Amino acid sequence: MLKVLKNLVDDIGACMMFLRDMIRTGIRTPCTWEAVCVQIWKVTVQSLPTTMMAGFFVGAIMTVQFTMQIKAFGALGYLGGLATSATVREVGPLLIAFLLSGKVGAFTSAELGTMRVTEQIDAIRCLGANPLQEIILPRFLGIVISSFILLAAGLLMSIFGGLILGAFFAGINPEEYIRHIPTIVSKFSIYSGLFKCLVFAMILASVCTYKGYTATGGAKGVGRAVVSTAVMTMVGIVVSDWLTSLLSETTLVLFRGDLF
């Protein structure tokens, strides 16, 4: 148990140092915008269909659950606002992070790990280029920026899915479902969702690039890097979700009058 905990702490420290080096590299010698756009396109195209489908069903599920809770109070008119608020603040960012972890995180870790064990990264360094600038930083920024695009797409589909289920399951017309969304979905809810999305994306991008970049041991090493990426990312997302939720609620209490 102590050895596992020590290895986890070592991995977290090494990942933080890797992130520090990458930020320093980005400040001194930033990568090209074209390279970042290529990664944004790749990540978005890989994950957009899955994200939209998952967002649709998440919105439908939230609508069904809230319908069962508020129907007894005669407050079905607020169904759209309640379901959308829960999705924006909590479910949406968490869903996007898990989807990216399963698809983009594992793929990036495997891709970079293969480049490491086949000495492609060493070849880039021998040519006088910085691997952090050329291959790591564009992937990191691509994952972070794409997460916001995917979050927007997933939230739009969740509203659509909730609207459809609201009409068929609760008998609420679309206008009534949408009317109370601005009433309940406050600016704070949007800020909280965006902040969580940023934190989750940075954790995912840092872990998958670090694990792939430091992979050793041939094909088995690449496999271990992918598994380790999945475990560390899931744990990091869950722990950071708790921390960001606690921080958001504390901020809401302290600055309630300024956030609405």
In a domain, 3, yes or no: no
Q: Rounded to two decimals, what is the model's pTM? A: 0.86
Structure tokens belonging to residue 202: 């940075």
Burial class (CB in 10 A: 0-12, 13-18, 19+), 254: exposed
b/e map 99-109, b = 16+ CB within 10 Å: bbbeebbbbbb
Q: Are 76 and 100 in contact (CB under 8 A)?
A: no
In a domain, 156, yes or no: yes
d(CA 203, CA 5): 19
In a domain, 63, yes or no: yes
- Structural domain range at position 207: 32-258
d(CA 87, CA 95): 9
Taking the chain (260 residues) in runs of 10, the rounded mean pLDDT of each run is 73 85 84 89 88 86 80 74 83 83 86 89 85 89 90 86 82 80 82 87 90 86 88 88 83 61
State how far Cα 53 lies from the chain centre: 16
In a domain, 2, yes or no: no
Structural domain count, the chain: 1
Closest CA to 42 of 157, 116, 145: 145
Structure tokens belonging to residue 236: 């990091």
pLDDT (0 to 100) of residue 141? 92
In a domain, 65, yes or no: yes
pLDDT (0 to 100) of residue 41? 92
In a domain, 7, yes or no: no
In a domain, 23, yes or no: no
In a domain, 97, yes or no: yes
